[in-house]
């Protein structure tokens, strides 16, 4: 496929996104670049190198005549999961790589940037532009992952350090939840390939039937979830899916009592944020919960999680606007809008839909086909983007996916229910 982007635009976008990644690293100390807080996360240094390796491997090596790779070892060290181009270094051991140094990785980025810009200047072929565009969306995903991974590192450090300065963001009046009715019927979801970029897992556009349903007007708040906790939500097996209850019990002494990053001190609840710890704002949107917790809460409220088809249908007439990465908050903000809102930004919204291929799905060609398709098993779809997502990366058809136990991402809850 190809995307219709003029050469000056793609070159400007390339420089903008690559610079933004490095700007997001500016609050870090050199020691922070190396830490891998858990097996599912990665050190900032690895993120910086991996996205650069992606451009080198899938753009330069494919489209530059007699291309000589920067360092052959990087094809092993910084490959994530692309078995079609080599054997990846073990994911859980990325934090063991003290070398190459941070300085060497920044030099690697500089040299690959120069080579990409030179290639775009001399050969603005549509296939090259598509691959560079894919690489930019890939880097935006890693910008988000890097912030969530840094938060997990800092949030599990006894010092609870801050990533950026405190910003007073939650000052709006909070309005009560309302149920918004949707008539349902035959709806189109997904996307066709066009001149605008989309991932392969968003295709093809297809028709579905939706029974009438209701959506909650606002996201579930910390106050809502605290009531669930106080009503023994984490202790009632009847509220939990079987796998969720088994996972809860398997945690032993680390059994969940709160969402991730909540903690109690002197009978006061706090929440760790990228601005450091702060007293829990009860009226801010809930975040950092697993799909298991989201489903149990919905069941407790006599509701359910929406399907991804319902979510996309509900979002069809709404603008893609909200609290995204560019706001600089890096945390969900209170929603004080009277109308149906908040579907974009703030938190990724769990759905009950399994991450599976749409009818007629066809992955990207070649090794790029490993980008999405091979992960369509045992995961659930989330929609809408979060406060650490790039706004120009999110679309109404965008499908994020994580395992139902995962909660280090900025994931939250919007309720749905069947119409009577």
- Domain closes at, from 140, 155, 170: 155
Asked if residue 44 belongs to a domain, the reply is yes
Q: Which residues contact 103 (CB under 8 A, 6 or more apart)?
A: none
**What CATH code is carried by the domain that includes residue 283?**
3.90.1580.10
Asked if residue 58 belongs to a domain, the reply is yes
Do 150 and 186 reside in the same domain of the chain? no
DSSP label at residue 86: -
Q: How many domains does the chain have?
A: 2
Contact status, residue 341 vs residue 216, Cβ threshold 8 Å = no
**What CATH code is carried by the domain that includes residue 73?**
1.20.120
For residue 336, the model assigns a pLDDT of 67
The domain of 200 spans: 179-418
Do 146 and 200 reside in the same domain of the chain? no
With a cut of 70, which residues of the chain have pLDDT below it? 1-4, 166-173, 336-339, 341-342
Asked if residue 78 belongs to a domain, the reply is yes
Contact status, residue 289 vs residue 347, Cβ threshold 8 Å = no
Do 151 and 207 reside in the same domain of the chain? no
Judged on CB neighbours under 10 Å (0-12, 13-18, 19+), 366 is exposed
DSSP label at residue 257: S
| Interstrand relation of 411-412 and 348-354 (parallel, antiparallel or unpaired) | parallel
Do 107 and 192 reside in the same domain of the chain? no
Do 87 and 195 reside in the same domain of the chain? no
Do 341 and 382 reside in the same domain of the chain? yes
Strand ranges for 148-261 from DSSP E: 179-182, 185-189, 206-210, 213-216
Rounded to whole angstroms, what are the CA distances from 101 to 33, 122, 322?
Answer: 10, 32, 37
Do 65 and 140 reside in the same domain of the chain? yes
Asked if residue 371 belongs to a domain, the reply is yes
Rounded to the nearest angstrom, the gap between the alpha carbon of residue 191 and the centroid of all alpha carbons in its chain is 20
For residue 176, the model assigns a pLDDT of 81
Do 144 and 183 reside in the same domain of the chain? no
For residue 1, the model assigns a pLDDT of 60
Quickly list H helices, 56-125: 61-63, 74-77, 102-122
Q: Which helix (H) or strand (E) holds 412?
A: strand 411-412
Asked if residue 227 belongs to a domain, the reply is yes
CA–CA distance, 417 with 415 (Å, rounded to integer): 7
For residue 335, the model assigns a pLDDT of 74
For residue 173, the model assigns a pLDDT of 65
For residue 334, the model assigns a pLDDT of 84
């Amino acid at each position: 496929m190809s995307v219709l982007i003029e050469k000056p635009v793609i070159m400007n976008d390339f420089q903008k996104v690559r610079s933004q990644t490095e700007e997001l690293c500016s609050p870090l100390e050199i020691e922070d670049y190396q830490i891998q807080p858990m097996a599912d996360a990665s050190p900032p240094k690895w993120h910086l190198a991996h996205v650069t390796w992606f451009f080198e491997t899938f753009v330069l090596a494919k489209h530059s005549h007699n291309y000589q790779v920067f360092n052959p070892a990087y094809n092993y060290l910084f490959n994530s999961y692309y078995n079609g181009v080599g054997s990846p270094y073990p994911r859980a051991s990325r934090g063991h790589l003290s070398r190459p140094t941070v300085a060497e990785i920044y030099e690697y980025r500089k040299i690959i940037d120069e080579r990409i810009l030179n290639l775009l200047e001399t050969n603005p072929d549509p296939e090259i532009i598509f691959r560079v565009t894919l690489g930019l969306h890939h880097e935006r995903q890693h910008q988000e992952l890097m912030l969530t991974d840094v938060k997990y590192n800092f949030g599990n450090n006894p010092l609870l350090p801050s990533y950026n300065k405190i910003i007073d963001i939650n000052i709006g009046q909070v309005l009560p939840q309302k149920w918004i009715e949707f008539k349902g019927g035959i709806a189109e979801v997904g996307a066709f390939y066009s001149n605008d970029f989309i991932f392969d897992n968003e295709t093809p556009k297809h028709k579905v039937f939706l029974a009438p349903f209701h959506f909650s007007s606002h996201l579930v708040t910390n106050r809502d979830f605290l009531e669930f906790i106080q009503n023994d939500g984490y202790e009632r097996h009847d509220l939990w899916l079987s796998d969720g209850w088994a996972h809860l019990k398997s945690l032993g002494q680390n059994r969940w009592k709160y969402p991730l990053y909540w903690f109690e001190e002197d009978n006061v609840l706090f929440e760790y944020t990228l601005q450091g710890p702060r007293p829990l704002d009860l009226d801010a949107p809930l975040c950092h919960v697993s799909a298991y917790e989201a489903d149990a809460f919905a069941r407790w409220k006599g509701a359910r999680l929406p399907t991804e088809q319902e979510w996309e249908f509900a979002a069809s007439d709404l603008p893609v606007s909200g609290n995204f990465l560019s706001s600089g908050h890096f945390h969900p903000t209170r929603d004080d809008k009277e109308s149906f809102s908040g579907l974009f930004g703030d938190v990724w919204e769990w759905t009950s839909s399994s991450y599976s291929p749409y009818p007629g799905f066809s992955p990207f060609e070649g090794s790029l086909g490993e980008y999405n398709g091979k992960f369509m098993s045992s995961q659930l779809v989330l929609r809408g983007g979060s406060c650490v997502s790039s706004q120009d990366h999110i679309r109404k058809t965008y499908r994020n996916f994580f395992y139902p136990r995962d909660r280090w991402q900025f994931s939250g809850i919007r309720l749905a229910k069947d119409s009577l």
